[in-house]
Amino acid sequence: MPQKTAMTDGIRNLIFDFGGVLLDIDIRRTVAAFAALGLPGLDPFDTHPRNAGVFLRLELGQITERQFVEQLQALVPDGNPVPAPAQLLDAWNAMLLPYDWRRFELLDRLRAEGRRIFLLSNTNLPHRRCFIDRFDRGNPAGRPFESYFDRCFWSDEMHLRKPAPEIYLAVLREEGLRAPETLFIDDNSPNTDAARELGIRTFHLAPPTAVSDLFG
């Protein structure tokens, strides 16, 4: 693992992924919850990180939450009861694990050092509504989610998804960031590889390392 000084030397901007970096996720929980509702056989990699079909369309903002639910209901085999929308959304959100608040204390420390902090997440409205609501209700510091970032970039609002180069270029352009002064941290190597090709400094976060381990 690189030393803190090496990680942040010359870095003025930090871009964090969310799921797998600032919030732990467990895709198996969602796959199991869908199976319990009569949707067996889903490939975990189709729900995250590769995404496919309905999950990809949701993450790109190409379908609404209602359309997402309807398309999941259409996957239920004939003869099985069709789950209610709330059941399907609860199953979809089951992958979102509890917060480790120390990771957000870290963001404050990095900001206090004069760095700008951004979030760049492949996500969707049902997940975002769930994890922001949990955050705002549970944060011991009593602060809202977005107060920890200079700006949050969401794939479904941008209609772009990592690792497409255009999503990184949009962040750099819209915020006036220089790639060599920017560090991007993500738990999926295709995402960090794509950012690195654009001159952005990167760190691929892999277990057992947590983001709070990177900066001491």
Alpha carbons 188 and 45: distance in angstroms, whole number: 12
Q: Decide if pLDDT at 50 tops 60.
A: no
Lowest mean pLDDT segment, chosen from 23-32, 50-59, 144-153, 189-198 = 50-59
DSSP state of 23: B
The vertex-167 CA angle with 162 and 169, nearest 5°, equals 135
| pLDDT interval class at 192 (50, 70, 90) | very high
Of the candidates 135, 170, 166, the residue with the CA atom closest to the CA atom of residue 151: 170
pTM of the entire predicted model? 0.92
The residues near 43 (Cβ < 8 Å, ≥ 6 apart) are 52
Q: Decide if pLDDT at 46 tops 70.
A: no
Lowest mean pLDDT segment, chosen from 36-50, 120-134, 164-178 = 36-50
Q: Decide if pLDDT at 77 tops 80.
A: yes
Quick one: pLDDT at residue 8?
A: 78
Rounded average pLDDT over 155-172: 98
Residue 173 DSSP SS3:
helix
Q: What distance lies between CA 204 and its chain's CA centroid?
A: 14
Of the candidates 113, 117, 123, 112, the residue with the CA atom closest to the CA atom of residue 148: 117
Q: Decide if pLDDT at 6 tops 90.
A: no
User: In the CATH hierarchy, which fold is given to the domain comprising 4-24+99-214?
Assistant: Rossmann fold (3.40.50)
* Order of all β-strands in the sheet with 116-121: 151-154, 116-121, 13-16, 182-186, 201-204
Q: To the nearest whole number, what is the mean pLDDT of the chain? A: 92
Of the candidates 75, 38, 31, 72, the residue with the CA atom closest to the CA atom of residue 55: 72
User: In the CATH hierarchy, which fold is given to the domain comprising 27-93?
Assistant: DNA polymerase; domain 1 (1.10.150)
| 131 φψ region: left (φ > 0), alpha (ψ -120 to 50), beta (else) | alpha
Domain range annotation of the chain: 4-24+99-214, 27-93
Residue 119 DSSP SS3:
strand
